[in-house]
Amino acid sequence: MTNRMILRFLSLADNVGLARVAVAQMAGQIGFSLSDVEEIKVAVSEAVSNAIIHGYQGREDGWVEVACSVAGDELVVTVEDWGVGIADIAKAREPAYSTDPERMGLGFVFMESLMHAVVVESAPGRGTRVEMRRRARVGALSRDVQ
């Protein structure tokens, strides 16, 4: 079975839950356990929150897009914003690093620990795209930066 969903919403904190529910529904189509779905929801929350908080720096008029596909036993979730972008992706992925001193800086750490692959693409002034993959069956862990 193959299915795909694209959801676009304004950069409002209230929309994090919307993204979680939509992706959880897609994940449920390919046999993830309830525990797996909860972990996927956390990863989605972190990616969407990063887009809203860091990408748009509190602006509520930016767009965030969540695309999700299921094919076979794999879920692919992409979260994209067109905000400020990330100047140093490797630094942003370091534990406890944050551009906001009020934040713990663990978003990417959570995403990487809960998904089988995380790819981050970003350019200052152009936005950020985070692609996360998880298979319903346990496999090798892969982390890529582009």
- If phi > 0 it is left, if psi is from -120 to 50 it is alpha, else beta; for residue 55 that is alpha
Q: How far apart are CA 111 and CA 142, in angstroms?
A: 12
Q: How far apart are CA 32 and CA 59, in angstroms?
A: 35
Q: For residue 40, what are its two tokens?
A: 């996927």
Alpha helices in the chain (DSSP H): 15-27, 34-50, 89-92, 107-114
| Catalytic annotation, residues | 46, 50, 103
Q: What is the CA radius of gyration of the chain?
A: 14
Tell me the one-letter amino acid at 6: I
Short-list 56, 48, 54, CA closest to 21: 48
